[in-house]
A and B are shown apart, each in its own frame.
Chain A
Amino acid sequence: GESVGLHLPTLSVQEGDNSIINCAYSNSASDYFIWYKQESGKGPQFIIDIRSNMDKRQGQRVTVLLNKTVKHLSLQIAATQPGDSAVYFCAENIGGYQKVTFGIGTKLQVIP
């Protein structure tokens, strides 16, 4: 079946550098995408979302890029901090339907 997947299971970055976490999705009908951060032993925390009519959205230190042509989603974190260490999941939603499909997850390790 169609699913959301990630290219890199683990990403290590130096503190202060920028991080880029990638996600590939295969369901062309998906029109809403969300990035979540999950710290160890906790529930997912909403970071940023984007709709399919946009290709870029910026938040505080985070930017999400959407490339519908190649069905690719990325999360960019500027000036990565130790507190950014967590597992990041992309998720997709179709047409306002409430069910959300989660990707595999990427573990971000920030090296002090």
Chain B
Amino acid sequence: GAVVSQHPSWVICKSGTSVKIECRSLDFQATTMFWYRQFPKQSLMLMATSNEGSKATYEQGVEKDKFLINHASLTLSTLTVTSAHPEDSSFYICSASNRRSQETQYFGPGTRLLVL
């Protein structure tokens, strides 16, 4: 149980375009979802926390207008990288937690974004 999926697993796009990444909890209801960014050989950096039905809470330094997060249902959250630039190229990972075990985060497999 507690499986989280992400789609797509990798994406290549041109500079200036927008990219949407989906995060789904497959067998549980995710009351909270988290979005992380990870650069090569570095740790995971939390970008934002989203609770179902409410606005996401962004970490300091993360542009909310550039990284749009929607958590419209208990099983789906989306991250849209708007007007992507090469410096946005990274590994984006989501995680989800449920009411029963709010401290435990179940991670998705990640989405590798390459902006040309």
Contact = CB atoms under 8 A, between A and B. Distances in A.
Interface stretch (A11-19, A53-61, A71-79, A94-102): A94-102
Contacts, number: 50
B103 A98 contact: yes
Q: How large is the interface on A (under 10, 10 to 19, 20 to 34, 35 or more residues)?
A: 20 to 34
User: Chain B interface secondary structure, helix, strand, loop or mixed?
Assistant: strand
B52 to A, nearest CB: 13
B103 A32 contact: yes
Contact of A41 (B95, B105, B110): B110
Interface string A73-96: 000000000000000010001001
Contacts of A44: 44, 93, 95, 107
A105 B44 CA distance: 9
A86 B91 CA distance: 16
Q: How large is the interface on B (under 10, 10 to 19, 20 to 34, 35 or more residues)?
A: 20 to 34
Interface string B85-116: 00000010101010000111111111010000
Interface in B1-41: 4, 6, 32, 34
A9 to B, nearest CB: 9
B112 A43 contact: no
Given A103-B43, A104-B43, A105-B43, A98 B110 contact: no
Interface of B: 4, 6, 32, 34, 42-46, 49, 91, 93, 95, 97, 102-110, 112
